[in-house]
Amino acid sequence: MNGCEILSDTSSYPGDISFAGPAEYGCAILSDTVCRASCQQALFIFDEAEKLHPGLIDAVKPYMDHYDNVDGVSYRRAIFLFLSNIGGVAINDVTLDFWHSGQNREDIGMEDLEHRLRSEAVDSQGGFAQSELMSGHLIDFFVPFLPLEYRHVKQCARDAYAARGQRPSEATLDEVAKAMMYVPKEEKLFSAQGCKSIPQRINFFLP
């Protein structure tokens, strides 16, 4: 993105700390990143958004609202991503319903999930639901991360091995995939964890 830095730091803003300092610091980071001459478009990522203090999230509101500029700086080309576990149950339910009806995971469209995700975000606990971003309808899209099936876990394992310069056999990839936990209990269709845990898990299968 033309050399723009990606901001992904919830560890600096836990929900139980004094808000004034982190909010001002966070706003300074936003302004500094967007103002850089080499930065044509800035991307800001807030991980585990449901755990953020509502005051911190509200501090971002002016930069996402429908203003031409804030303090003389335009943020119209800035992109804000809020990653969250909100809606995980709804996503799994819809994906399972598609499977039961004989449809593929890839057949799920935004229209099948976005309304449910928006409703769950509004009704959820935590700072994100209480923020003015939600009450002011400033979130443009709710994009679901669909659960991983067995074949996707194998792809994650293949990538983890490739990152170490190794080319595992299909049998080894199957071993890694079978070692993962799957839900629901009856069907065991979806991995209970994402790809993040796989790089560590393959340590048990290295020669």
d(CA 72, CA 49): 28
What's the mean per-residue pLDDT of the chain?
79
Q: Are strands 79-82 and 182-183 parallel, antiparallel or unpaired?
A: unpaired
Q: Give yes or no for residue 180 having a pLDDT over 80.
A: yes
Residues 107-120, mean pLDDT to the nearest whole number: 91
In the DSSP assignment, the letter for residue 74 is -
Give the confidence band of 5 by pLDDT, cuts at 50, 70, 90.
Answer: very low
The C-alpha angle 105, 107, 110, rounded to 5 degrees, equals 100
Q: What per-residue confidence (pLDDT) applies to 33? A: 60
Six-digit token pair at 187? 């069907």
For residues 39 and 202, the model is more confident at: 202
For residues 41 and 26, the model is more confident at: 41
Q: What per-residue confidence (pLDDT) applies to 4? A: 46
Is-above-0.85 flag for pTM? no
Give the confidence band of 166 by pLDDT, cuts at 50, 70, 90.
Answer: very high
